Each structure stands twice: as structure tokens, then as C-alpha cells.
Amino acid sequence: MKDSVIWVAHDPSVTAATSECMLLDNAYIQAVRTFHESLPGYQPTALIPLKHLAQHLNIGALFVKDESTRFGLNAFKVLGGSYAIARFLARSLNIEDKALTFDQLNSCIQRKRIQPVTFYTATDGNHGRGVAWAARMFNQNAIVFMPQGSSRARLNAIRAEGARACIVDMNYDDAVRYAYDQSKADPQGVLIQDTSWLGYETIPTHIMQGYGTMIAEACDQFEAQEQSQPTHVFVQAGVGSLAGSVQGFLLNRYAQHSPMVTVVEAKAADCLRQSIEQGKPVAVQGMHDTIMAGLACGEASMIPWKILTSATRCFASVLDPIAAYGMRVLAAPLSGDLPITSGESGAVGVGLLVSIMTNPELASMRSYLNLNAASKVLCISTEGDTDPQSYRHIVWDGMYPSR
């Protein structure tokens, strides 16, 4: 797997939580969890211990948060879109945000008979499906744009939720701008996007807070099973909103003993790693050709960028075989461990961890991260087989071999 991993150590200049991190403190996230718990079909997703794989890697513990069952949508993304949509509708109806529940909000929508809003977004698939699902739950509309090369299976899954959706002839970042322009041209249009920029910050913040439900569940489950907190967390990044949410929450929850976070990107779209190396936000141009569709984003979001630069110690970008390796490791586990169906973007953290612990060429990375027999690692499988055909080609047919 030579040259499959490029990584950079980062020495944060600020160790205290930034103001953006404070938006992910326990009080905010508890309110978010209360909302998600009120949604029909809510169940915490499983945190799965891989004891035998941890022993094989000579680390103390390894747990994987399996998001493939989240609201039946096969990915975590719905947590962000649903909360952002709910907060927008609540403000429109003058509902107290901290008291927000599904029944309360839906009842008020029906009672006041507001004109339906059309929520616009750009997506590789998972975010758009979550937005479409949430819009349908609240009797609103959704229009979704997907970048060139997007999976037909993911497109059809979005349409099945009642949204209008199409694939446009542009990359993800341009699709975001197109969705923004379309929302502005529609008097009832609202953009629901996790990418933030100057002047567009409120909704992306709510999306990041929505993701907080997942990492809060994971930490509760980790502590219950292991009787201690994680020492290391591997989290994948596209524009960085999930990674920023995880890093910000961990800083608040564990203060001075926050786990060491490694942010993992696709090499074809590693805007965060390149930005860290250059000391300023850098855009990765082009079509971002990678099987990790959920990470194929070439421009970092402003809010998580501030959080990650203030606290994250390691940024890594990987080639597609690392993600495929993680998919196969999780699908065909060591005897005694449970199998996990994890998609291309979901498995990359595990793929990188296993590579670090088994590949002599990554010994310096292993040493820098201080991964050893005392390490207790949390990885997040953000999606299941959201493109079943691609999943089978990789796991069954051996596409993108690691060696």
C-alpha cells in the first residue's frame, strides 16, 4: 500500500475550545438529542466492539459506530438535515427552540397551514436523502442536485423520499453554488447545506449540531461498555462538518483529556490536509474522482475549519484502496467479531487504522499518534451499502485491491 496514505502532523495554536466549539457543548447537544428522540422511528445506532480485531492490531479496544440503520436511511446524514429543517421551520412559526419536538412542530405546521417551503440542497446522495426524508416528514418540498458521476442508486433513493432530484454536469462544490442560486430564485426556497461561508452560517451550524446526536450516543455507549473514554477517534471529512462536529463535541465533553482526533479524507479531494499544510483554506479543483463519494468535496466549510485548526492533531488523505480495505475488513471480520456493512465513505477510518497498525511504512504515523496496547479507538461507519452494486463489486469482486 505504498503511497496510499499521506498525512500531516498538526500542532494546534489554540488548545481551548473556540466559540464555534461552544455551539457543540452538552446543553446544545442535549436539546438536539431531545428533538431526534421525538422523531418517529428513532433508535440509537449500535456501537459495535471489535475485540478480536483490536487484539490482532495490538490496541486496547476498537469500537465502530454503525450508522447503517439510522431511520432506515442507511446513513447518518439525516441527523443534520432534519435538525436544520426543524430549526428553520420553528423560527418561522415562532416556536421556542429549546422545547422543539417533532409532534409540537408538526402540529403547529398543520394548525397554521403555512405555505410549504422548498428545501434545496446539493449532495452525493446521503445528505440529499436525509433532507428529502425530513421535508416529507414535515409536509414540505425538496429539490436535490447531485454532482456528475453520482450513483443512480442514490439518486433513486432520494426520489423515493418524494424529492425532485437530478444529476448535474458539475462537481460537488459547483453543485452547491447551483443549489444556492436556485434557492435564491425561488420565493419559497431555502438552502439546506452543511457547507458554510461568510453570510451563510446558521443552517450549517444547525446541521453540525444535528450530527452531535451521533457522537453523543457513541460516547455514552463507549463509556458504558469500556468504563472509560476513547483515547483516539478516526473521523472522515468532506467539507469538514462531521469532523468539526465530532472534534467540537469531544473538546466540550472531555475538556483537557480530549481524544486525539485523526481526520481522514479522500486523496482526490483532500482540501483540509492541503489547507493545513499551507496554513490557509485551499480549494481542490476538478471532478474529485474517488469511490468515497461522500468525501468528494474540494472546498472546506468555514465553521468546521476554525474548529479543526484549533484542536485536531492529524490530517490524512488516502487512496481508494484504503477505503475498500476497510470495507472488506468489516464485512469479513475475525472470528468472534460481528460483521458490519460499511460503504466506501463509511469504512475509510477503519481501513486507515488497520493500515497504520500493520504497514511498516506507516510506523512513523503510528508512533506520532501513540497507538499502542493502551489505546482505545472509536471509528465511525457513516454509511452502509448506499450503492449496493458498488458495494458488491468491492467486497465480493475485489475491486480496488490493497496490495
Q: Which residues are catalytic?
A: 77, 124
Number of Cβ within 10 Å of residue 105's Cβ equals 22
Number of Cβ within 10 Å of residue 61's Cβ equals 20
What are residue 164's DSSP bridge partners?
143
Q: What is the number of alpha carbons within 13 Å of residue 369 lying toward its C-beta?
A: 32
Rounded to an integer, what distance in angstroms lies between the CA atom of residue 335 and that of residue 338?
8
The CA radius of gyration of the chain, in Å to the nearest whole number, is 20
5: three-class secondary structure by DSSP: strand
Rounded to an integer, what distance in angstroms lies between the CA atom of residue 272 and that of residue 257?
24
Ramachandran angles phi, psi of 159, nearest 5°: -60, -30
Strand (E) or helix (H) holding 379 = strand 376-381
Helices marked H in 227-290 — which ranges?
A: 241-254, 271-278
Rounded to an integer, what distance in angstroms lies between the CA atom of residue 94 and that of residue 366?
51
Rounded to an integer, what distance in angstroms lies between the CA atom of residue 337 and that of residue 128?
32
Residues contacting residue 83 through CB under 8 Å, at least 6 positions apart: 32, 35, 36, 206, 207, 209, 210, 213
Amino acid at 122: A
Rounded to an integer, what distance in angstroms lies between the CA atom of residue 54 and that of residue 58?
6
